[in-house]
Amino acid sequence: MRRLALVLAASVLVLTGCGALPRHDPEVTFYANGKTIRIEPTIYCDLEGSNCAEKNPPGTLRVPPGEVVQISVDGQLADGLWEVVCVYENAARVQEGCTSPLLGKGENYTYTLAVPDDSDQLLRIEVHEAAGAVLETGQPLMRGSWVVDVTR
């Protein structure tokens, strides 16, 4: 009986210790041109959008002109609000931007990013996670950013 009590006590300590492990930062997966990269945030803040830290360098992904990029976020991001922002170069070599609608709320785990024209070249892709705080304009404050620099 005493031995069983010791085993149970040790099990409780192990389980308690496992619960105390820090959660990893959310990851985002980008897929294009037959290649997949999975990255952690470049910048990540607390829930209120403060106490930010630069975490990881941007990822790199080869995306030919006109190709789509499939983006998948983990559950932690999908449960909140997130968006995709991009910079691309059009046929006239002018840089333009794009922004997805706000996604998430447990409904959106994926997004397909497509440039307007087949000759447009993506240059940069960012996934932004909204924080719990809101700016004076009513827009959500950014909590995290996952950045991919695109190569041709």
Non-local (6+) Cβ contacts of 102 within 8 A are 81, 82, 83, 130, 140
pTM, 2 dp = 0.82
Tokens 């009590």 belong to residue: 5
Which helix or strand (DSSP H or E) is residue 75 part of? helix 75-79
Q: Is the pLDDT of residue 142 over 60?
A: yes
Look-up of token digits 């990255």: 39
Nearest in space to 86 (alpha carbons), one of 72, 73, 96, 101: 96
pLDDT per residue as tens digits for the range 52-104: 999 999 999 999 999 999 999 999 999 999 999 999 999 999 999 999 999 99
